[in-house]
Structure 1
């Protein structure tokens, strides 16, 4: 068996590697490999510190996907946001993470999540209480053996919305990757985590200054999907939203809280709000119609945001 370093990177080391601003994209898994390579290379060229992607039921498998993106880049951190714990057992998850961490000099970050009942049950599994499922899964990962070479064990973060999952992330991972949240959620998560663990929220963005146009696009191409998932609705309730905010694709108040829209300065202010609330890293998700990539938005935002 190869000699292994069993000490994963410290959260502050992970934060430094990620940088202050990255990119989150849920649609690149539908692209050809060649198109994804071009996209990842452009994200790196623009200066973003990380590229996060989700694991959908009918797109690329998470570790194969991450390997494709890592091979196309030289400095960029590639992060799963998230890899679903119901898709593979803990031993396979551990082995996949170790493989990529060693092959790409620590540029891979494993984001783990318990997903949502429709996605899990749709795969033929039975969704269980996410906190208990995640706790058991992490224990199994920690007990798993891996006989391949290990330079530095991979860091891991947890998808966390509720306070108990945030607490678990601070205890059993490098920190939290939160999604579909507000700066107020970021502040609450930082209070639970304390000063050391990583906190990396996703922030949806849209460069559109007309309120009616922006809100209509956001409702159609972003909020509608997530408001059908109880975990997100419950998180929003904890933030003070109610049934009136969840109808019609989302109230103006909810749209404006979840998505930063407007000009570059408006989006820069929102990113700063997350940083001021305790975020180490903010992953920007460009909102676009018709499954576009949003590279035009990322190009326009980069000069203003990457100096924060």
Structure 2
């Protein structure tokens, strides 16, 4: 399963009408992206038609919440898809957040139990076919030990370097990175703050930023310029290429780009075409 150097992360694809979603992912495949990540607590069921409607691109969950999907059902659905389209689907698992998930408790222990259940299923999900949403060192080590690797969200190159050390040299490291294709600082930061707003209320992210050297002051008023500029890549095509290269240089195997535009509920298909050109894909 070759996820490629770059992929697309998007929270709208999983809830877009099936025909349009398949057409969109087929275009991403032709543009040269290696993987499409379905954000926003997606499912195997949402990924399946995108796998079946394309020929090469890997379809991954970014992420499937362990609180909302029974492990035995996930294992069965994944086995059915793998039987007809081997090596095309990557199961991304996450423990979500206490503010978003019902029955949230002891996320690390819950993830271990979920992986145990996947291993014990009638057709197990092998470690090489799953990745974990991981930020802290403990969950990162688990991703290296019991999965193919990690899919950290909303991180910096500095975090990527730390994640690589925690995972070891052989595990897959595929961070999500936000990008605005604009050289207008005011516009790029405004778009970035609009997206960061909800994450500033979630301790998983703020605690991770504190570990990286940010302070409580960086979380005020929608996020400081320092925080926005560290977590949202923007600028000229050359700047965007250089900043994304920092993640690869820090140890990432794959970068899952979440392209941000003015309307967060619209599929940025034109922007993805532009991005493919910026990255020299195709």
TM-score by length of 2: 0.95
Contact kept, 8 Å, 1:66 with 1:79, in 2: the verdict is: yes
Work out whether 1:270 is the aligned partner of 2:247: no
Q: Which one of 172, 180, 191 corresponds to residue 206 of structure 1?
A: 180
1:48 is aligned to 33
Q: Does 1:138 align with 2:115?
A: yes
Q: Using the alignment, how far apart are the partners of 1:296 and 1:214 within structure 2? A: 17
Mapping 1:42-81, distance limit 5 Å: 42-56=27-41, 62-81=43-62
Q: Give the distance between the partners of 1:30 and 1:83, measured in 2 at CA.
A: 14
| Structure 2 contact 33–281 (Cα < 8 Å) conserved | no
* Aligned counterparts of 1:269 and 1:29: Cα–Cα separation in 2: 30
After the TM superposition, which parts of structure 1 deviate over 3 Å for at least 4 consecutive aligned residues?
Answer: none
Deviations 1:62-83 (Å, cap 9, x if unpaired)? 1121012112211110000111
Task: Tell me, in whole angstroms, the C-alpha distance in 2 between the residues paired with 1:49 and 1:240.
Answer: 32
2:90 corresponds to: 109
Please give the secondary structure, in 2, of the residue aligned with 1:283: strand
In structure 2, the residue matched to 1:233 is 206
What is the distance in 2 between the residues matched to 1:55 and 1:261? Answer: 23
Deviation for aligned residue 1:306: 4.4
Instruction: Give distance in 1, aligned partners of 2:127 and 2:145.
Output: 17
Residues 237 and 261 of structure 1: CA distance in aligned 2, closer, same or farther (over 3 Å): same
Count how many residue pairs are aligned between Structure 1 and Structure 2: 281
CA contact (8 A) 2:9 2:257 kept: yes
TM-score if structure 1 supplies the norm length?
0.87
Q: Structure 1's 279 and 154: CA in aligned 2 closer, same or farther, altered over 3 A?
A: closer
Contact 1:98–1:153 (Cα < 8 Å) also in 2: no
Task: In structure 1, list runs of 5 or more residues that go unmatched.
Answer: 1-13
Pairwise CA distance, 1:118: 2.1
Q: Give the equivalent residue in structure 2 for 1:176.
A: 150
Cα displacement string for residues 231-281 of structure 1 (whole angstroms, at most 9, x for unaligned residues): 111111111111111111111000001010112111111211000001000
1:281 & 1:117 partners in 2: Cα distance? 28
Residues in 2 aligned to 1:102 and 1:177: alpha-carbon distance in whole angstroms: 25
CA contact (8 A) 1:203 1:283 kept: yes
1:1-308 alignment runs, 5 A limit:
14=1, 17-56=2-41, 62-121=43-102, 126-146=103-123, 155-220=129-194, 222-290=195-263, 291-306=265-280
